[in-house]
Structure 1
């Protein structure tokens, strides 16, 4: 038995619970044979069996899983996203629902034929569950978040290491990679939870504006029904309106092949410059109560990783927000035109979608707090007005021709004056045409000098200096070349 006057860790006396647990892990025993209650005791957590089992599984993933090809444990992020989606009702899409989605998207394609020059995609419409949305989009989420995720995971690892007592650091020895995996696992779980929560809000494959999938058209029936709750509109109308939006997105990204890379590149440009302030994480780590798991989650979702933006990031973010607004504004305008006269509830649905996209849902805000990135088209209404003005002035073909090249796209300044864009663009195009014509004429030898002018010009140049030597005269003596001033 331990006597009060004997120091802990000597003889047969037990060590500190956390130190003893780490000693088992570092001594080669691993997690085999480690009772989850030991972890709870070490962390000061209640010994609830269900909670302990879940925590034990997560700790096991942290300790034993490698981070793969980077600091973030993406496998754990994927698993946690699926687990979060499954925590609420996520029924499989029935055959009837799947058929309803496909029929709505086929009708949407027919309506769009009248309002755009971009032809039909020919894609088969699909109904997705939330888990299927996660599976289809996880690869793109990794691409979008990896730069900031790696920074956060590294910062977490550093913070965890700094918070360990010196004796614990010595006991860890060469096993510091375990702490690196732990940092990657912690962030991976939080990112997975954010993506899993987002799967409960999105209504289609393209709902967040950024093309998360390539050449797919899909609706999430459960979320479509959830979106329609409280609107007082027929469920079929809601599904049809959202189907037109989805089909419009698909047409745009299919027939403007550079656009997907343009948008994803803008996100990556922004995320690549993110620097995480480790001192902020360390400050939060000191305030977190290890006996309260919710405090850790609140710290992670409370914007502790939100970086201070640099001028370069402000420019990248402005570019991204403008591009998102242009895409959403084009889709918004086309959807309104396609549904006009055939879907009486379209104006009300348009306003509901606009408000939803402008404000974002809880999961979208949690995602933004976690990675410092918002995917909301703040200037959707300005962009829609711009596309409407172009349709009136240039027609459908002239409007859609703007998507031929990224250099033709309106800028943030153009969104300040949507109705004046066409006039400015026409003037710029006229100037470009003049320059191109002049260049072509020059390259083809079209600028001929009239007879007699060449000799006069040469004589004039030769005699510019008055009494200077003419061409062909002997050079001045006393030097190898012209003297200064000639």
Structure 2
């Protein structure tokens, strides 16, 4: 007797999420077809130019068969991220369905999937106008580095910086992520496993949903004022917050390391790097009230702190034990910094180097 496969999870209608996101995403900057083609070609060339300086600065080398960067528009970024989110989260939703005491009917699943699909699409539409580049871990697929052409053009215009320098500078950051996950073979699976495991615990099942919503309504106003890690931290239990802190520490390391590398490549490669950094940091502080509210709800302000805290960790460890000494962080999951060590780099040095 053949046991039927588990039914497709309908917590999120991913195709509806893609359609919603593409419909809601703001139009990019006004460019002619000639300007658009030239920008795509220049960004692609910048991603290739970034490879050697990043490898030499970080002393990490991507294997020769690591996929090159792809240059995408906003709707394509939405579609690719929806696919990755599906690969990451469908096993989580499947586990939740298995735990339900009573499975929802087909109509309820279809309606619920459309609702969460619309919410996911709206979130992706918001993010698609913000992200300059991303290394997509693509659980179950082929990881790849994505550079979002319209966002690069829009931001370089807003900042009034040299387009060639800015594009290369951003590519340095994103190329560092490509190197991190390809030169360190275990890192991708480790991150996917940790995030998926945490998500399994964080996504509320129907039996605990009411309690979660009550906790959210009580704590959300103060969390918005404080600018914490977003809704995720509010709904988490103390034990889940500890696990969330561990994942955040890894993200701080990755983002901080990429920020350090993109700046330390230096003016010999990017003449206006100091000017770009100053203008870019000013832009991070200058978001409007509604945008800042969304950033707090989504935990994006906490992500800004990841760049800062992680960069401090990388610089202090490197100053103490050199680049090769810092690179011991990539040896195994055990040598990754613990949450407290991100804020106390000397503790990591003492633990790992003795």
Question: Considering the TM-score relative to the shorter chain, is it more than 0.5?
Answer: yes
1:438 maps to which residue?
none
Deviation at 1:364, TM superposition (A): 9.8
Greater shift, 387-396 or 181-190, is seen at: 387-396
TM-score norm. by structure 2 comes to: 0.74
Change (3 A) 1:402 1:182: same
Which of 227, 231, 242 is residue 170 of structure 2 equivalent to?
A: 242
Of structures 1 and 2, the larger Rg is shown by: 1
1:74 maps to which residue?
14
Instruction: Determine which structure has the larger helix proportion and give its number.
Output: 2
Deviation at 1:112, TM superposition (A): 1.8
Greater shift, 114-123 or 334-343, is seen at: 114-123
1:132 maps to which residue?
76
Which of 116, 119, 124 is residue 61 of structure 2 equivalent to?
A: 119
- State the distance in 1 between where 2:159 and 2:118 align: 34
Change (3 A) 1:351 1:422: farther
Change (3 A) 1:374 1:386: closer
Answer yes or no: is the 8 Å Cα contact 2:77–2:128 preserved in 1.
yes
2:52 maps to which residue?
110
CA RMSD of aligned residues (A): 3.9
Deviations 1:230-249 (A, max 9, x none): 32311222111101111111
Deviation at 1:70, TM superposition (A): 3.2
Deviation at 1:320, TM superposition (A): 1.2
Superposition pairs of residues 427-438 of structure 1, within 5 angstroms: 427=354
- State the distance in 2 between where 1:255 and 1:411 align: 21
Deviation at 1:121, TM superposition (A): 5.2
Deviations 1:58-83 (A, max 9, x none): xxxxxxxxx94333322212222222
Answer yes or no: is the 8 Å Cα contact 1:98–1:126 preserved in 2.
no
Deviations 1:400-432 (A, max 9, x none): 2320111011212212222453234222xxxxx
What is the aligned length? Answer: 318
Greater shift, 87-96 or 129-138, is seen at: 87-96
1:387 aligns with 2:326: no
TM-score norm. by structure 1 comes to: 0.56
2:115 maps to which residue?
186
Q: Which has the higher contact order (CA 8 A, sep 6+)?
A: 2
- State the distance in 1 between where 2:267 and 2:235 align: 44
1:349 aligns with 2:276: yes
Answer yes or no: is the 8 Å Cα contact 1:324–1:377 preserved in 2.
no
Unaligned stretches of 5+ in structure 1? 1-66, 159-174, 284-302, 428-486
Unaligned stretches of 5+ in structure 2? 1-6, 215-229
1:88 aligns with 2:27: yes
Superposition pairs of residues 9-28 of structure 1, within 5 angstroms: none
